[in-house]
Amino acid sequence: MSSYSRILLNTVALVPGATSLPPIRSLLKRRVATQGTKSAVYCYGVWLRHLVMAAGCRLDSNPAAVAELGPGDSLGTGLAALLCGAQRYTALDAAPYANPQANAKIFDELVELFRARAPIPNRDEYLAVKPRLEDYAFPHHVLGVARLERALRPERLERIRGAILGEHADPRTPMIRYRAPWQEANVIEPASQDLVFSQAVLEHVDALREAYAAMRAWLKPGGYLSHQIDFKSHGYAPTWDGHWRYGDFVWRLVRGPASWFINRQPYSAHQRLLAASGFRIVHEQRARSVPSFARGALARRFRGMPEADRETSGVYILAVPARA
């Protein structure tokens, strides 16, 4: 749906009683976006991208406790982490999009992909998935024979399957936790996670400062963040950077009553918040795009945007707690 249709629909929805009319209700319902994690191949590729990038920067490539923000339609990306040997996976989302049946199906497909040591998908619909890697062959250097054999033992697979279906051997230490929605940082114990990651999520989080502070609290010493962030307009403006042209009033109409949307924060905002929350960036991979309009057309709140932000359409970052 274009930004103009959204503005129209959201303006109509403001009229008292309009949202109870069936056509308006169904239009509002229809625009709830579906997420990519319905596909096991996508989840496999996303997890292996994060793992390979971390290994390339000599960060822990066998994290035991892994947390993910915004898994979307399934927990598949975190299930891929468990299939590589992680012991605990915690997923936090804005709403409960995933369900145990879909997760179980994706899990079975993931097991086959790991057994086959399938290459990391990077063609057709996966061409645009980031971060970009130098090599898309199966990462034998990270997932050696012994590690994968241990991780894919039949009794371990049964345990993960049980956890997917909500059966926990010891409910005090569940292998999988899913909190959706989540609000407070105390949803995860302090200093308990080796890795916190996300894919195409941090551009949607409204309370970004709080989210980074929470991530800092969750990480163990030696833990790290791995995030892929997309700064483009997600189709809510005619050009990739057009969302930075809208003033606050129009943007409120584009957003409407959505419980989460895009936060329009450019890369420098993430850099600032990372530093303020006590992180040091150890690696970044920026996607650059040519600005589609002159600086003078930026909305007032973005006038001071650094030139580098204007051409940063996405970024992959690895960050670690900064030394005190």
Ligand X SMILES: C[S@@+](CC[C@H](N)C(=O)[O-])C[C@H]1O[C@@H](n2cnc3c(N)ncnc32)[C@H](O)[C@@H]1O
Do 32 and 55 meet the contact criterion of CB atoms below 8 Å apart?
no
241 interacts with ligand X by CB under 6 A: no
Backbone angles phi, psi at 128, to 5 degrees: -90, -5
246 interacts with ligand X by CB under 6 A: no
3 interacts with ligand X by CB under 6 A: no
82 interacts with ligand X by CB under 6 A: no
Determine how many CB atoms are found less than 10 A away from the CB of residue 156.
15
What residue ranges in 118-237 does DSSP mark as E strands?
176-179, 193-199, 219-230
204 interacts with ligand X by CB under 6 A: yes
Least CB distance to ligand X at residue 228 (A): 8
Single residue of 53, 67, 205, 317 touching ligand X by CB under 6 A: 205
193 interacts with ligand X by CB under 6 A: no
Q: Which is nearer to ligand X, 37 or 193 (CB)?
A: 37
Single residue of 28, 36, 302, 316 touching ligand X by CB under 6 A: 36
260 interacts with ligand X by CB under 6 A: yes
| Helix/strand/coil percent split, the chain, to 5 | 40, 15, 40
In this structure, the strands spanning 312-321 and 219-230 are antiparallel
**Which residues face 88 on adjacent strands?**
65
35 interacts with ligand X by CB under 6 A: yes
126 interacts with ligand X by CB under 6 A: no
Q: What is the 3-state secondary structure (H, E, C) of 207-261?
A: CHHHHHHHHHHHEEEEEEEEEEEECCCCCCCCCCCHHHCCCHHHHHHHHCCCCCC
Single residue of 111, 148, 201, 219 touching ligand X by CB under 6 A: 201
Q: Which is nearer to ligand X, 12 or 109 (CB)?
A: 109
Q: Which is nearer to ligand X, 37 or 148 (CB)?
A: 37
Number of residues in the chain: 324
What is the biggest distance separating any 2 CA atoms in the chain, rounded to whole angstroms?
63
Burial of 32 (0-12, 13-18, 19+ CB in 10 A): exposed
139 interacts with ligand X by CB under 6 A: no
Single residue of 92, 164, 229, 315 touching ligand X by CB under 6 A: 92
Q: How is the beta sheet containing 279-288 ordered, strand by strand?
A: 176-179, 88-92, 65-69, 193-199, 219-230, 312-321, 279-288
Single residue of 48, 160, 200, 320 touching ligand X by CB under 6 A: 200
Single residue of 59, 69, 164, 287 touching ligand X by CB under 6 A: 69
Least CB distance to ligand X at residue 94 (A): 4
Q: Which is nearer to ligand X, 136 or 157 (CB)?
A: 136
Least CB distance to ligand X at residue 184 (A): 12
Stretch that binds ligand X, among 2-10, 94-102, 245-253, 277-285 (CB under 6 A): 94-102
262 interacts with ligand X by CB under 6 A: no
Do 256 and 304 meet the contact criterion of CB atoms below 8 Å apart?
no
Single residue of 59, 65, 83, 94 touching ligand X by CB under 6 A: 94
Q: How far apart are CA 190 and CA 178, in angstroms?
A: 17
Binding residues for ligand X (CB under 6 A): 35-37, 46, 69-72, 92-95, 97, 199-201, 204-205, 260
